[in-house]
Chain A
Amino acid sequence: MSLLAPAQAALRDDVPAYTAALDRWLAEGPSALRAAARPIASYERRVDAMSELMAALYDAGWSRFGWPEHLGGHGGSIVHRGAMWYLLARHGVPSMAVFEHFEVLAPTLAALGPPEFVAEALPAFLRGRETWAQGFSEPDAGSDLALLRTRAVEAGDGYRITGRKIWTSWARYATWCLVLARTGSTESRHRGLTAFAVDLRAPGVDVRPIIQANGTDELAEVTFDDVHVPADRVVGDLDGGWTVAMHILSHERGTYAWFRQCFLYRDLVEHVPSSPGVGDRAAGDALLDLAAVSATSSAALRLHAAGATLGPRATITKLLLCNAEQSIQDLVLAGDGDLAAGRQDDEVAVLRQDYLFSRIVTIYGGSQQIQLDTIAKQLLALP
């Protein structure tokens, strides 16, 4: 099914109508949806299934809403994207897999990336053909990102990047990496950084997947050895990398919560213990936690749709998301002994991966302690 232009304009201007139309399309049960909704223990096969679904959504036009036309979209706002993922969760898709990153990186690429490059890269990302990784953290620069040492030096028609990135999510699956590198002196801290779109297929790039405690290999260590990057792959301004990083963090800590919470309702409702007891209190509490995430993150989407960013208030949404995710996964673990015992079954394997992952939601995207300090400093003006 492809959309005719008048229908496209109507859905662009009316999110509830878009939602209702997409809901009907999904209810017909496209094969890519059925495949992605099945529990798949292998992370690699799960990424493949999600890529197929993303390609189907793109071909049918649905995922192009929420992106500007000059970047291959159908127009509309981030609220369209929020509605799309809500519906995918409602129709059984268990998680975004590699496409979580899409909603973290793509808004920044669209806002600050070189337009001609992004006009090709964004649709390729959206169809699941060429996905992206985010190269921020380094072995010696974690919470204190401004310490990073990966260096970009001007050389002829571009730059040459040398350094080491770690905890680079989905690098093993990605074609591109948004690398934050130093273009100024080490003392320049956050002022001397620049963001580059780096082709991970380029000579000098080495990606080493890291096997995580939950058995998946989302994370990786990436080494750049004198890697050539053309001049037109600078995202944002030269020495303006911190602005790019802050834009990403507004999404990674703020709007991202919306996309993730869509999937948590199902986990909650399906895993409430079936007999009355203390589980009722725990389930009720988890629902309260989740409602707070829905309310704060939907407000974040509307704010972004209106052209604003969250700034330090994104940290609050992030803290609430962590609370909700952990209280729901606590409930899942308490109600299903197979998780801890590791019964060999695809559904159990996925539940176990998700439970273990929920223990580090307070670490990625800025540790919980850093988030709390950001609130104290930037919102409460404490010394």
Chain B
Amino acid sequence: MSTTFADQDFLSVSRKAVGASTGSDALVTLGWWDLLGELGDPEARAALFALFRAEGLELGNTCALGALTAAPYMHARNDNGTVVASIGRQSMRGGRVDLLVGDTAVDQILFDRPGIGAAIVPASEVTMRPIDISGRLAVHEIEVDAARLLPSIDEATAHVARAKSTFLGRLAIAFEILGAAEAALALAIEHAAGRVQFGQTIGSFQAVRHLLAWATTDCAAVESVAVAARDMYEGAPNRFDQVVKALAGRNGRRASERTLQVLGAIGFTAELDHHHFHSRVLLLDTVLGSSTELTVRLGAWLRDARPDPKIAYAVLLGATQQEDPLTTDVDRRELREQMR
């Protein structure tokens, strides 16, 4: 309901390009690289993020996520070239692990170390270890000689770029999770409409219908917040990127589980693509803050700060609103005391 006809056009063009090509070719076909320089334009953003939804739907494998998350640093440095950002995560078994998500045919890789700054290293100088999981997404754990990580972007500059990069990365992942969940849903709907048991298609049983209706609702929720974040962009309320990413991870997992239940045993085999979509959702949920981690963090924020999250106002008027026009500050506790 929140997407427009233009969104549908961008999505179908992106799906076609991603589905028809390997690696990052689709980014060239779509003129996607040019969009990176036009993030301030709402329509360019719509086209840019449609690519990620298409990646989820078509199990694409471009280097777009790394390129998008590198863009704020490169802008700060006014540099050029195919540079992608690695994404760090904490492993229970190996400490900090740097990941390269997607196509590896890139020139340089950006490593950001919070508190130190960011370094850009030629791709030829890193060791890449492929991760072997379902999802048709190339993922590599990468290692680089510590001496190569001397920051060329200082911490003060990197600090500003980091927040923007994280916002963009979380939003892109939310769209990709959405696409993967929608594709899993499409598989399950097709199955429910065709599979006959007890003399009727299983899609006529309420239990099955309700699972699919809930999965549709899970996806619609992700779509609505992701589209809102994309439209508001820099006007998005505080922590909205965490809300979007957490909701995408949570609902993406829920939708994958509900659709697996509808598919039955065939959904748990390599013969059907469901496991690719599901694995991609699980993988994407763990990078740039998992849904569990972000959800707990958001709850702790509500508890500590008791803030007015301003989400409602921002989504109603945010797309046209640059700054908060509400000049009055309502202190809820004071208000409660007055009421007594």
For A285, the chain B residues whose CB sits under 8 A away are: 250, 295, 299
Does A157 lie at the interface of the complex (its beta carbon under 8 Å from any beta carbon of B)?
no
**Chain B, range 261-293, C-beta contacts under 8 Å to A:** 292
Residue of A19, A258, A269, A382 touching B302 (CB-CB under 8 A): A269
The CA of A63 and the CA of B180, in the complex, are separated in Å by 44
**Do A382 and B1 touch (CB < 8 A)?**
no
For A319, the chain B residues whose CB sits under 8 A away are: 213-214, 217
The CA of A91 and the CA of B326, in the complex, are separated in Å by 12
Interface stretch, picked from A3-11, A99-107, A286-294, is A286-294
The CA of A90 and the CA of B336, in the complex, are separated in Å by 12
Given contact pairs A16-B325, A316-B216, A291 touches B303 in the complex (Cβ within 8 A): no
Does A359 lie at the interface of the complex (its beta carbon under 8 Å from any beta carbon of B)?
no
Contact-residue bracket for chain A: 35 or more
**Do B2 and A19 touch (CB < 8 A)?**
no
For B292, the chain A residues whose CB sits under 8 A away are: 281
Which of A266, A269, A273, A290 has most B Cβ within 10 Å? Answer: A269
Interface stretch, picked from B28-36, B90-98, B120-128, B312-320, is B312-320
Chain B's closest residue to A287 (CB) is B298
Which of A27, A34, A90, A371 has most B Cβ within 10 Å? Answer: A90
Proximity string of chain A (280-304) to chain B, C-beta cutoff 8 Å, 1 when within and 0 when not? 1111110110111011101111010
Does A201 lie at the interface of the complex (its beta carbon under 8 Å from any beta carbon of B)?
no
Residue of A16, A27, A283 touching B299 (CB-CB under 8 A): A283
Chain A's closest residue to B297 (CB) is A284
Min CB distance B300 to A, Å, is: 5
Does A129 lie at the interface of the complex (its beta carbon under 8 Å from any beta carbon of B)?
no
Min CB distance B16 to A, Å, is: 24
**Do A37 and B307 touch (CB < 8 A)?**
no
Proximity string of chain A (107-125) to chain B, C-beta cutoff 8 Å, 1 when within and 0 when not? 0000000000000000000
**Do A298 and B1 touch (CB < 8 A)?**
no
Contact-residue bracket for chain B: 35 or more
For A369, the chain B residues whose CB sits under 8 A away are: 206, 210
**Do B192 and A382 touch (CB < 8 A)?**
yes
Min CB distance A373 to B, Å, is: 6
Chain B's closest residue to A308 (CB) is B1
**Chain A, range 65-86, C-beta contacts under 8 Å to B:** 79, 82-83, 86
The CA of A377 and the CA of B221, in the complex, are separated in Å by 19
Does A262 lie at the interface of the complex (its beta carbon under 8 Å from any beta carbon of B)?
yes
Does B116 lie at the interface of the complex (its beta carbon under 8 Å from any beta carbon of A)?
no
**Do B316 and A298 touch (CB < 8 A)?**
yes
Proximity string of chain B (200-238) to chain A, C-beta cutoff 8 Å, 1 when within and 0 when not? 110110100110111011001110110110000000000
Chain A's closest residue to B206 (CB) is A373
Min CB distance B247 to A, Å, is: 5
**Do B325 and A20 touch (CB < 8 A)?**
yes
Does A92 lie at the interface of the complex (its beta carbon under 8 Å from any beta carbon of B)?
yes
Does A217 lie at the interface of the complex (its beta carbon under 8 Å from any beta carbon of B)?
no
**Do A376 and B209 touch (CB < 8 A)?**
yes
Residue of A37, A282, A320 touching B221 (CB-CB under 8 A): A320
For B221, the chain A residues whose CB sits under 8 A away are: 292, 295-296, 320
**Do B327 and A282 touch (CB < 8 A)?**
no
Does A23 lie at the interface of the complex (its beta carbon under 8 Å from any beta carbon of B)?
yes
Chain B's closest residue to A83 (CB) is B316
B residues adjacent to A (C-beta < 8 A): 1-2, 189, 192-193, 200-201, 203-204, 206, 209-210, 212-214, 216-217, 220-222, 224-225, 227-228, 240, 243, 246-247, 250, 292, 294-300, 302-303, 306-309, 311-313, 315-317, 320-321, 325-328, 330, 332, 335-336, 338-339
Question: 9 tightest CB-CB pairs across the interface, nearest first?
Answer: A284-B299, A280-B299, A284-B295, A376-B209, A283-B299, A292-B221, A295-B224, A27-B328, A375-B213
Q: List 10 A-B contacts (CB under 8 A).
A: A16-B321, A38-B339, A83-B317, A265-B312, A272-B303, A279-B299, A296-B221, A375-B217, A376-B212, A382-B204
Supply 14 further A-B pairs (C-beta < 8 A) apart from A27-B328, A276-B303, A291-B243. A23-B327, A270-B306, A272-B299, A272-B302, A283-B298, A288-B246, A292-B247, A295-B2, A298-B316, A313-B1, A372-B214, A375-B217, A380-B216, A382-B193
